[in-house]
Amino acid sequence: MDKKFKKINKNGSVTIPKEIRAEAGLFSGNGVAIDARPDGSVLITPAAPSCRFCGSMTDILTIDNIIICMGCAKKILSKVDVVND
């Protein structure tokens, strides 16, 4: 993915572009851990595991390194059932 350039506002906030939030699994309302790295970069990671699709932090499971909630898993399974009919 191409680098995105943003300005830090006077309150210290930076908007993380939507496509980067989606790729990283960062959802509004969910906490993040922010850490300054020795190389000058800043690492932002989800503070707690959350569903890759909806951001839920409850009833989650991990399948092949993808974190998903039971609600989204059921939605996906219902689509698979339709395909098999």
Residues forming contacts to Zn ion in the complex (CB under 5 A) are 51, 53-54, 56, 69, 72
Closer to Zn ion by Cβ: residue 30 or 44: 30
Instruction: State the nearest-atom distance from the C-beta of 30 to Zn ion, in Å.
Output: 12
Q: Cα–Cα distance between 44 and 33 in angstroms, integer?
A: 6
* CB contact at 8 A, 44 and 27: no
Shortest approach of Zn ion to residue 36 CB, angstroms? 31
Q: Which two tokens stand for residue 3?
A: 């680098």
In the complex with Zn ion, which residue's Cβ is closer, 26 or 53? 53
Q: How far is the CB of 80 from Zn ion (least distance, A)?
A: 16
Nearest CA-CA partner of 67 in 19, 14, 30, 42: 30
Which residue's CB is nearer to Zn ion, number 26 or number 51? 51
DSSP summary character for residue 8? -
